[in-house]
Structure 1
């Protein structure tokens, strides 16, 4: 697999220095390149529904939780309340979600799916989940288990505080 140019240049410089295990670095950059490619393809597929990944995830969260405050959505997405407000406003404008004030605290906005949003989510999830599954179609169950184990180990390594130092 061809690395993205930005990673290829990085590897070329490191190869000349010969101070690190280049195969491990290439493997990490391959993972990043594949993840980026998946993100790009995902965005193209969602664009036909006029959705971004963040907008889709908000719809998914609302289907799971029925209704959420802006602050709860922000926390679940891991983004700022301001960014959440922008995303939710666009979903309101498209008629996919509705907003009302909390009965106990009028300062809190409660968001829920509209029937139009539910229909779009159902259609999108059906098509999108099939596409996502196809990404690993040619992997055996054993391959998937090994891949998940390797990803878990990488995640553990990245999560360790001493790596950052």
Structure 2
């Protein structure tokens, strides 16, 4: 008989919600949201990036990214710049405040990641990641 509490989808969703809430709470004192942090992370990692590229990395709709970047631009975290080689392309770059926020939040993120997996054997983590990647791959074929 089917038991929802044993369903991988139910367990992973519940776990994901708890992790997101805990991470959001860790960001509250810094006046930044989790989506803003993720955008800042990817923009910093790539030095500059288009909204479409960011949308693909975050796996979010471009319209959602546009609204996110609009808010971040108002908060002086990012700026849009025309690509010098192709003025049709707009690149996203971190402002000095965005870079400062990256440097401030990165240790918080690293610490959170370490704490969320504490007391879990490294081999178990490898298996966990492999299994979740297979589940993700399977879900894309449904």
What TM-score results when the alignment is normalised by the length of structure 1? 0.73
1:116 maps onto 2:97 in alignment: yes
Establish whether residue 43 from structure 1 lines up as the match of residue 24 from structure 2. yes
Q: After superposition, where does 1:20-35 map in structure 2 within 5 Å?
A: 20=2, 22=3, 26-28=6-8, 29-35=10-16
Give the paired residue count: 141
Tell me the residue number matched to 2:114: 133
Q: Give the drift of 1:103.
A: 2.5
Alpha-carbon distance between aligned partners in 2 of 1:38 and 1:48, rounded to the nearest angstrom: 17
Which consecutive residues of structure 1, in runs of 5 or more, have no partner in the other structure?
A: 1-17
CA distance in 2, matches of 1:75, 1:59: 15
Runs of 4 or more consecutive aligned structure 1 residues displaced over 6 Å after TM superposition: none
Does residue 96 of the first structure (1) align with residue 77 of the second (2)? yes
- Which is greater in Rg? 1
CA displacement at 1:107 relative to structure 2: 3.4
Bigger fraction of residues in strand: 2
**Do 2:26 and 2:108's aligned partners in 1 also have CA atoms closer than 8 Å?**
no
Flag structure 2 segments of 5+ consecutive residues without an equivalent.
none
Per chain length, whose mean CA-contact separation is higher, i.e. which structure has more relative contact order (CA < 8 Å, sep 6+)? 2
Give the aligned CA root-mean-square deviation in angstroms.
2.2
Normalising by the residue count of structure 2, what TM-score does the alignment of the two structures yield? Answer: 0.83
Change in Cα spacing, 1:102 to 1:36, as seen in structure 2 (3 Å) is same
